[in-house]
């Protein structure tokens, strides 16, 4: 997704919230989904934590993509987890599943 498409999803897309994340969804008229990961503005994030969160998100998306309806642009806005707890793949999968259910995107 380019900058123009991302702005359109933020501006026109429906918003769904879960603990630690928000997802913006907009129909894209393509046979597949496109996803973008972005992070809240926070001094907690450093390059290592942003990259880890992005890797976990991409892997969770990859593992779940067969269960999700196609044809949408998705933006996942991620908030930092508390400093006393590290994030895991199962946490991200549960988070995405919750957001997909709220958006009505699960098959």
Overall CATH class of domain 3-103 = alpha beta
- Structure token digits, residue 40: 């809240």
Is 22:15 a contact under the CB 8 Å cutoff?
yes
Per the model's pLDDT, the better-predicted residue between 6 and 82 turns out to be 6
Predicted confidence at residue 34, as pLDDT, reads 93
Is 43:4 a contact under the CB 8 Å cutoff?
no
Tell which residue, 3, 4, 38, 6, has the closest CA to residue 22: 38
Per the model's pLDDT, the better-predicted residue between 101 and 44 turns out to be 101
Predicted confidence at residue 100, as pLDDT, reads 94
pLDDT, one tens digit per residue, over 37-82 is 888 776 667 788 778 888 888 899 999 989 999 999 999 988 776 5
């Amino acid at each position: 997704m380019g900058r123009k498409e991302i702005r359109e999803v933020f501006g026109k897309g429906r918003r769904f919230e879960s603990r630690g994340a928000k997802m913006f969804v907009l129909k894209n008229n393509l046979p597949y989904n496109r996803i973008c990961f972005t992070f809240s503005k926070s001094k907690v994030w450093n390059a290592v934590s942003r990259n880890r969160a992005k890797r976990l998100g991409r892997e969770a998306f990859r593992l779940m993509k067969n269960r999700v309806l196609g044809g949408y642009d998705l933006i996942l806005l991620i908030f930092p987890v508390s400093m006393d707890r590290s994030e895991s793949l199962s946490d991200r999968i549960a988070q995405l599943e919750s957001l997909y259910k709220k958006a009505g995107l699960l098959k």
